[in-house]
């Protein structure tokens, strides 16, 4: 490489802001953290708040993520502040976030206020996303009953998923190639219909109908009566009908000419 060449370096997020820009940055969460008991115990609102806080992180401002309850309410789309406030308390209870700067409000010399600042505990000093093992273990005894229920249900569902995935099994269909879900392997429907009576006055038995691309059904052959209602007999019937019409019209035309 030429000496003195300007080399582009990545920031704490592992991205190059000059090459990608702010609009093309990504939000990264470790899968092990997202599937850990820490997140399983959270409500859906608290999980959404994790994404909102992480979207504010730019690689160097951890601990200075200013977010008030009002802003969290607006970001999450709530009209009432109680649910976002409870979500913040949940994240604090499981040690995923920590307050670094408390809220401030002053009426002296004009109204001045500042939201609380947060530190994301699963992000290290160099911007690395830490595994859940690096965080304080979850104390289930401190959780509320509904949080414990969420934890148990989600961890049970994840355990079932991992077990089926390891055995290459799928929900509903136990197949490694999903052949049963392919349209061409689906069973053809049986069409029950009343067919035309045969010449001896007996009805032909109902048969399974073949399905064509034109959505037409045909009557299959039945033993010795397989010649009944075939393409050849239909064509012969049409010919006989045409000859009968011509035979009837011939005398009429002769009388008209006389």
Domain boundary residue, one of 166, 194, 221: 166
Residue 157 and residue 234 in one domain = no
CA distance 83 to 65: 20
Longest dimension (CA), the chain: 124
140: CB partners within 8 A, 6+ apart: 37, 41, 148, 151
Residue at 116 is within a domain? yes
Residue 161 and residue 237 in one domain = no
Q: How many domains does the chain have?
A: 2
Residue at 177 is within a domain? no
Residue at 150 is within a domain? yes
Domain boundary residue, one of 166, 189, 214: 166
CA distance 26 to 125: 19
Beta carbons within 10 angstroms of residue 39's beta carbon? 22
Residue with tokens 């304080």: 136
Domain boundary residue, one of 145, 166, 187: 166
Residue at 100 is within a domain? yes
HSE-up of 166 (CA within 13 Å, CB side)? 6
Residue at 154 is within a domain? yes
Residue at 72 is within a domain? yes
| In 58-198, alpha helices (H) | 69-76, 82-93, 145-166
Task: Return the beta strands (E) in 146-251 as ranges.
Answer: none
Do 98 and 110 meet the contact criterion of CB atoms below 8 Å apart? no
**What pLDDT score does 25 carry?**
78
Angle at 103 between CA 97 and CA 105, to 5 degrees: 170
CA distance 15 to 32: 21
Beta carbons within 10 angstroms of residue 65's beta carbon? 22
Residue 35 and residue 150 in one domain = yes
Residue 34 and residue 162 in one domain = yes
pLDDT single digits (tens) 173-215: 555 555 656 665 665 655 555 555 555 556 555 555 555 454 4
Considering 98-107, 162-171, 190-199, the range whose residues carry the highest mean pLDDT is 162-171
Residue 248 and residue 134 in one domain = no
Across residues 59-86, what is the average pLDDT?
Answer: 93
Q: Which domain holds residue 140?
A: 17-166
Considering 4-8, 70-74, 137-141, 176-180, the range whose residues carry the highest mean pLDDT is 70-74
pTM of the predicted structure, to 2 decimals: 0.57
Closest C-alpha to 73, from 85, 65, 61, 63: 85
Residue at 174 is within a domain? no
**What pLDDT score does 188 carry?**
61
pLDDT band at 121 (very low <50, low <70, confident <90, very high): very high
Residue 142 and residue 63 in one domain = yes
Per-residue pLDDT at 3 exceeds 90: no
Residue at 9 is within a domain? no
Residue 140 and residue 241 in one domain = no
Residue 28 and residue 148 in one domain = yes
CA distance 242 to 223: 30
Task: Return the beta strands (E) in the chain as ranges.
Answer: 65-66, 97-101, 104-106, 112-114, 117-120
Do 31 and 97 meet the contact criterion of CB atoms below 8 Å apart? no
Residue 80 and residue 158 in one domain = yes
């Amino acid at each position: 490489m030429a000496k003195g060449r300007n080399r582009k370096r990545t920031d704490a997020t592992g991205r190059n802001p000059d090459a990608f820009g702010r609009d093309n940055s990504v939000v990264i969460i470790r899968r092990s953290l997202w599937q850990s008991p820490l997140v399983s115990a959270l409500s859906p609102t608290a999980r959404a708040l994790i994404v909102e806080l992480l979207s504010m992180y730019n690689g160097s401002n951890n601990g200075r993520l200013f977010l008030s309850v009002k802003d969290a309410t607006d970001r999450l789309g709530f009209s009432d502040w109680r649910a976002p406030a409870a979500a913040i308390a949940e994240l604090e209870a499981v040690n995923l976030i920590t307050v670094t700067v408390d809220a401030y409000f002053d009426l002296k010399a004009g109204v001045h206020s500042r939201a609380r600042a947060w530190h994301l505990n699963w992000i290290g000093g160099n911007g690395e996303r830490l595994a859940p093992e690096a965080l304080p273990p979850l104390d289930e005894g401190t959780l509320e009953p509904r949080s414990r229920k969420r934890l148990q249900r989600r961890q049970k569902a994840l355990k079932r998923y991992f077990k089926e995935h390891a055995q290459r099994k799928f929900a509903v269909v136990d197949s490694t190639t999903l052949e049963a879900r392919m349209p061409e392997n689906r069973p053809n429907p049986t069409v029950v219909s009343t067919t035309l009576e045969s010449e001896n006055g007996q009805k032909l038995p109902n048969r399974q109908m073949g399905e064509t691309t034109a959505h037409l059904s045909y009557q299959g052959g039945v033993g010795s009566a397989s010649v009944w209602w075939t393409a050849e007999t239909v064509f012969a019937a049409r010919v006989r009908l045409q000859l009968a019409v011509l035979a009837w019209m011939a005398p009429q035309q002769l009388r008209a000419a006389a």
